[in-house]
Amino acid sequence: MQASSPQTYNEKMLANYVPIYVMLPLDAVTADNVVGDTDNLEKQLKELRAAGVDGVMTDVWWGIVESKGPKQYDWSGYRSLFKLVQDCGLKMQAIMSFHQCGGNVGDVVYIPIPQWVRDIGESDPDIFYTNRKGNRNPEYLTLGVDNKPLFHGRTAVEIYSDYMKSFRENMSDFLESGFILDIEVGLGAAGELRYPSYPETQGWVFPGIGEFQCYDKYLKEDFKEAASNAGHPEWELPDDAGEYNDTPDATEFFKSNGTYTTEKGKFFLTWYSNKLLNHGDQILEEANKAFLGCKLVLAIKVSGIHWWYKTENHAAELTAGYYNLNDRDGYRPIARLLTRHHAVLNFTCLEMKDSEQGADAKSGPQELVQQVLSDAWHEKIEVAGENALSRYDSAAYDQILLNARPNGINKAGPPKLRMYGVTYLRLSSDLLQQTNFDLFKIFVKKMHADQQYTADTDKYNHHLVPLPPSKPKIPTEELLESTKPIKPFPWNKETDMSVSGGGGEGGGGLFGFISRLFPWNR
């Protein structure tokens, strides 16, 4: 009888294990609702599994599943994809993607929101986010129609709710088997809880400040009512906040002591950001009802808007709906909101360093990540994350590893701080090119704290329990109490789990040398 291979992990060190997932290609299920190149995808998935990867993440596009008409769902493409992934021994993170895929410069995949919804937009273009000039953005429905029954008698929130309920009914076997670990609920452009303030389709170029997106008739009416109720019927939406590619100082709104610091400016920014919080709250409540009792976690994604972070005005964050200033925390209210729904905050730009950014953008990705992760941990919720750009170098991997365990590993048990999981963006032939993939495999091992892959999530303290009901609604005043800035947790300077075995910029060893010779493509 052959002896079974001994387990090579250390139980105490397993408490430091951070699971790693890989984002599937945008068209893993194509616009025709079939799995793309099945043979190639299967080969790639098996390579990920052999590398110790815990699972994959995929968009479940509304524009594909409900394309034929209201409540006419076709889950066949996703059932095929899920079966393929499951057969390859990987777990699944599924994104309820209610936004358009593609349409920006260089995008090779285009999956719009359903045609029957866009048809309604032909006669009522105000169902889409709108900037001050009246340009519409068909990537996602404006939150102004969340509760308007404009869609064959349904509201936008009811559409999202029905979609998630149908997903649960049609994927019940995958849910019950423990294959689907989490459901990320799309809440805006790119699936993120934000306004589409920096659309490349409308000419935005990094590091433009972006524009407020609240000039559709529904949000205009909402603002007028809010201003009147506050005793200021004369207040209007901003007309001095500039255009997509302006710098803050070029605008009256964001310049030093500009409109954003006035009573009127503060009222607007509070209204604008609160609308976003309410939007997330409502849809998460529906998600909770849809997946109640399933052994999984809910998650939402918050965008890593790191440009202009190191200015007084934080202009790019403000236009996106994150009312974050040096004396006002715009992210902790989101984290506090998630406590109600037992949800995970998924944040991005984990791979970025300040030193890699141009000085003109006043970027602070490291401080931003530290702030948002700390906010989540202070509110006692889990935080997950991903990289913003595809990177294959040791400097990027080491930065992700540092953020995954900011104070390092603990050989005697759980580390002081640990991210819930990291999703690597994304599966491609570039990632699987041998030099890149060899380094990625080391990265996976370091995410696992040098322990071997384990399928049992309990072993690293991810105890998946049936999703409990959402708690009672948190009063707005209580959410806004958390805007008071708090000190972030301290971060180590470098990870103690470097992919190159040495610290420092670019890392040491052969891989560090190679990644300095061949820097990633920006």
pLDDT, tens only, 260-280: 999 999 999 999 999 999 999
Torsion of CA 368, 373, 376, 377, to 10 degrees: -140
49 in a structural domain: yes
pTM of the model as a whole: 0.94
Answer yes or no: is pLDDT of 515 > 80.
no
Q: Where are the alpha helices (DSSP H) in 171-262?
A: 172-176, 217-229
d(CA 65, CA 69): 10
The pLDDT of residue 235 is 98
280 in a structural domain: yes
The pLDDT of residue 377 is 98
The reply, when asked if residue 306 is annotated as ligand binding, is yes
The pLDDT of residue 108 is 79
The pLDDT of residue 106 is 57
The pLDDT of residue 104 is 65
d(CA 505, CA 392): 14
Residue-wise pLDDT for 150-202, tens only, equals 999 999 999 999 999 999 999 999 999 999 999 999 999 999 999 999 999 99
d(CA 426, CA 28): 12
The reply, when asked if residue 266 is annotated as ligand binding, is no
Rounded percentage of the chain residues whose pLDDT exceeds 70:
93
Q: Read off the pLDDT of each residue in 318-327 and give the average, rounded to a whole number.
A: 98
Token reading at 314: 């934080």
Q: Is 300 helix (H, G, I), strand (E, B) or coil?
A: strand
The reply, when asked if residue 348 is annotated as ligand binding, is yes
pLDDT-based confidence at residue 505 (cuts at 50, 70, 90): very low
Residue-wise pLDDT for 246-255, tens only, equals 999 999 999 9
pLDDT-based confidence at residue 504 (cuts at 50, 70, 90): very low
The values of phi and psi at residue 456, to 5°, are -85, 105
Buried b (16+ CB within 10 A) or exposed e, 98-136: bbbbbbeeeeebebbbbeebeebbeeeebbbbbbbeebb
User: Which of 1-5, 104-108, 374-378, 393-397 has the weakest average pLDDT?
Assistant: 1-5
The DSSP code for 101 is: B
Answer yes or no: is pLDDT of 404 > 60.
yes
The reply, when asked if residue 30 is annotated as ligand binding, is no
The answer to whether 491 and 372 have CB atoms below 8 angstroms apart is no
Token reading at 470: 């959402």
The answer to whether 384 and 422 have CB atoms below 8 angstroms apart is yes
Q: How many Cβ atoms are within 10 Å of 3's Cβ, its own excluded?
A: 5
The count of domains in the chain is 1
Q: Is 367 a catalytic residue?
A: no
The answer to whether 187 and 280 have CB atoms below 8 angstroms apart is yes
The reply, when asked if residue 162 is annotated as ligand binding, is no
465 in a structural domain: yes
Q: How many Cβ atoms are within 10 Å of 471's Cβ, its own excluded?
A: 11
Q: What angle do CA 158, 27, 79 make, to 5 degrees?
A: 65
115 in a structural domain: no
User: Which domain does 42 fall in, by range?
Assistant: 12-100+139-198+266-483
The reply, when asked if residue 245 is annotated as ligand binding, is no
β-strand 128-130 against 136-141: which pairing, if any?
antiparallel
Q: Is 234 a catalytic residue?
A: no
Q: How many Cβ atoms are within 10 Å of 81's Cβ, its own excluded?
A: 23
The pLDDT of residue 7 is 55
Residue-wise pLDDT for 1-51, tens only, equals 344 344 567 889 999 999 999 999 999 999 999 999 999 999 999 999 999
Catalytic residue among 66, 139, 192, 317: 192
Answer yes or no: is pLDDT of 514 > 90.
no
120 in a structural domain: no
Answer yes or no: is pLDDT of 517 > 80.
no
178 in a structural domain: yes
d(CA 199, CA 196): 6
Residue 40 exposed, middle or buried by CB count within 10 Å (0-12, 13-18, 19+): exposed
The reply, when asked if residue 388 is annotated as ligand binding, is yes
Catalytic residue among 317, 379, 382, 386: 386
The answer to whether 466 and 296 have CB atoms below 8 angstroms apart is no
Q: Read off the pLDDT of each residue in 369-396 and give the average, rounded to a whole number.
A: 97
Residue-wise pLDDT for 336-374, tens only, equals 999 999 999 999 999 999 999 999 999 999 999 999 999
The answer to whether 316 and 207 have CB atoms below 8 angstroms apart is yes
Q: Average pLDDT, whole number, for the chain?
A: 94
98, 67, 281: which is closest to 190 by C-alpha? 98
Rounded percentage of the chain residues whose pLDDT exceeds 90:
92
257 in a structural domain: no
pLDDT-based confidence at residue 54 (cuts at 50, 70, 90): very high
Answer yes or no: is pLDDT of 487 > 90.
yes
Q: Read off the pLDDT of each residue in 397-406 and give the average, rounded to a whole number.
A: 98
The pLDDT of residue 301 is 98
Q: Is 128 helix (H, G, I), strand (E, B) or coil?
A: strand
Q: Read off the pLDDT of each residue in 411-421 and give the average, rounded to a whole number.
A: 96
Query: Taking the alpha carbons of 282, 159, 381, 496 in that order, is the dihedral positive or negative?
Result: negative
d(CA 447, CA 518): 24
Residue 353 maps to which CATH number? 3.20.20.80
463 in a structural domain: yes
The pLDDT of residue 64 is 98
pLDDT-based confidence at residue 417 (cuts at 50, 70, 90): very high
